[in-house]
Copies of this chain bind each other. A is one copy, B any other.
Amino acid sequence: MAKKPSARAPLDQFDRAILRILQTDNKTPQRSIAESVNLSTAAVQRRVAALEATGVISRNVAVVDPDAVAMSITAIVEVYLRDERSATVDAAKAAFRKTPEVQQCYYVTGGTSFVLIVVTRDMRSYESFTRKVFEENDSVNNYRTLVVIDRVKTDTQIPIQE
């Protein structure tokens, strides 16, 4: 839907207020957003469209409960690459990006190369995932798994200031 790198329209108070609402529930009718922020529905409509067009809102999604679809293992994995040459790193990024079990992937400082959040059906499929993605991958030197006991907070919400 929305994919536009940068059209820097600086966000004002109205935009921020709208974002705060949509981040919580993007099905909120424009009419009630308009009430909350004291604008007309048309103004809200235009602002939302602009926020989507410029990529401030990157996607509109339904959040699915992993348990409900029988994906009961969530793991956080620190991955250490064999080296940090850009070709090696880029190849790893591309691989992680297209692996469906990898829900999130961050490239980080501090010795660890990557932190992944991995979701699988059960422990057996987690094991076969590690074999496929780490052990059969030469550029992965080592990895450390932290199994999630409790998903305490998973809101992908950004604190929007002022």
- A11 to chain B minimum Cβ distance, whole angstroms, is 7
Instruction: Please indicate the chain B residues that have their CB under 8 angstroms from the CB of A147 in the complex.
Output: 108-110
Contact A119-B159, Cβ < 8 Å, known A57-B63, A108-B76, A112-B146 = yes
Whether B69 lies near A158 (C-beta < 8 A) is yes
> Most chain-B Cβ atoms within 10 A of its Cβ — which of A105, A109, A155?
A155
Instruction: Please indicate the chain B residues that have their CB under 8 angstroms from the CB of A68 in the complex.
Output: 11, 54-56
Whether A60 lies near B63 (C-beta < 8 A) is yes
Range of interface residues on A (Cβ < 8 Å): 35 or more
- The A contact surface, by secondary structure, is mixed
Instruction: Please indicate the chain B residues that have their CB under 8 angstroms from the CB of A22 in the complex.
Output: 61-62, 64
A147 CA to B115 CA, complexed, in Å: 10
Give chain A interface residues in 99-136, CB to chain B under 8 Å.
100-110, 112, 114-115, 119, 121
At the interface, yes or no: A141 with Cβ under 8 Å from chain B?
Answer: no
Between A and B, 12 residue pairs with Cβ closer than 8 Å are: A4-B65, A56-B65, A58-B64, A58-B65, A59-B63, A60-B63, A69-B160, A104-B156, A107-B152, A109-B147, A121-B161, A156-B156
